[in-house]
């Protein structure tokens, strides 16, 4: 761009179909030119330095989370060989492992206790690093108006909001509508159609797996909280009521995917309108659009 040249990034999965025969520099250049002329192939937006840095924080956190999980599972497996069962869960598991290693009367041999304690110390260090990354993400979210708007949506937390801003910079103008935005995460049904027959299968699972995972986990938390509130006799309305109705007609996993799809659409509308989420306001607007004059 500094040299006056417009840079365009094309999606590799769509450009690959234009490559003919063997891979050479000439065939690659011809394929890129052919794909650049195609009107239905949209260029990939170039991320800013700030977006790349924010996305890098998420990648580092995911890396440390995976390392912590592998260390906990390794310790759980070692102790199981000596007849010691460790409860499921990262926090409770690490606490139980620490108590077992600190107790001299357990069946853990002295030969392995020292190395096992080092693994526990490594887990504690990883948890401290993960907490530091989350504090940095929180600081970045406070400076981002887009994150503030996204955090007002049920099921959208710090990780999901900052990950969405890192992926889109808070600008969704290059998406046609909310449906295309949801399909970008692979949360729309996979279609098998021919002639007059049309079949919609499970979700396509295309796109960013990390963002889809965050949205799905957020949807599960909303469903769980709505179920608890309903069991306590509290009023459940809006998106939560709709999600519980879907769960009643189908099952929990389908309801979670449907709610994640709806959350993605709400994120699109929030970023497009540049306003915080107000369920009552959006419901009244929808009713006004659907209102009609009753015949006399």
pLDDT tens column, 141-193 = 999 999 999 999 999 999 999 999 999 988 999 898 999 999 999 999 888 88
Q: Do the Cβ atoms of 133 and 57 come closer than 8 Å? A: yes
pLDDT of residue 68: 97
Low-confidence winner among 12-21, 214-223, 286-295 (lowest mean pLDDT) = 286-295
DSSP lists the bridge partners of residue 9 as: 44
pTM score: 0.86
Nearest residue to 282 (alpha-carbon basis) of 123, 154, 131, 145: 154
pLDDT tens column, 277-288 = 886 665 555 445
Q: Do the Cβ atoms of 265 and 277 come closer than 8 Å? A: no
When pLDDT is averaged across residues 95-103 and rounded to a whole number, the result is 95
When pLDDT is averaged across residues 257-283 and rounded to a whole number, the result is 87
pLDDT tens column, 201-227 = 889 988 899 999 999 999 999 999 999
Query: With 70 as the cut, is the pLDDT of residue 296 above it?
Result: no
């Amino acid at each position: 761009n500094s040299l006056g040249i417009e840079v365009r990034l094309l999606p590799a999965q769509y450009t690959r179909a234009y490559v003919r025969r063997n891979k050479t520099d000439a065939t690659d250049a011809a394929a890129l030119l052919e794909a650049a002329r195609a009107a239905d192939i949209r260029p990939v937006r170039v991320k800013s330095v700030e977006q790349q840095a924010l996305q890098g924080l998420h990648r580092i956190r995911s890396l440390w989370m995976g390392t912590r999980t592998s260390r906990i599972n390794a310790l759980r497996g070692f102790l199981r060989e000596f007849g010691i069962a460790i409860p499921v869960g990262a926090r409770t598991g690490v606490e139980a492992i620490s108590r077992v290693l600190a107790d001299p009367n357990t069946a853990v041999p002295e030969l392995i206790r020292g190395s096992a304690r080092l693994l526990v110390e490594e887990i504690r260090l990883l948890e401290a690093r993960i907490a530091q990354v989350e504090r940095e993400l929180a600081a970045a979210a406070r400076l981002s108006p887009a994150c503030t708007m996204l955090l007002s949506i049920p099921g959208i937390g710090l990780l999901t909001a900052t990950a969405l801003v890192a992926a889109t910079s808070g600008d969704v103008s290059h998406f046609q509508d909310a449906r295309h935005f949801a399909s970008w995460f692979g949360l729309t049904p996979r279609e098998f159609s021919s002639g007059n027959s049309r079949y919609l299968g499970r979700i396509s699972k295309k796109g960013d797996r990390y963002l889809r995972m965050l949205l799905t986990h957020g949807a599960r938390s909303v469903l769980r909280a709505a179920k608890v509130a309903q069991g306590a006799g509290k009023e459940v309305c809006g998106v939560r009521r709709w999600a519980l109705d879907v769960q009643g007609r189908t099952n929990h996993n389908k309801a979670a995917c449907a709610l994640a799809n709806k959350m993605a659409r709400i994120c699109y509308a929030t970023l497009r309108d540049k306003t915080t989420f107000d369920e009552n306001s959006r419901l009244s607007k929808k009713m006004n659009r659907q209102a009609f004059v009753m015949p006399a």
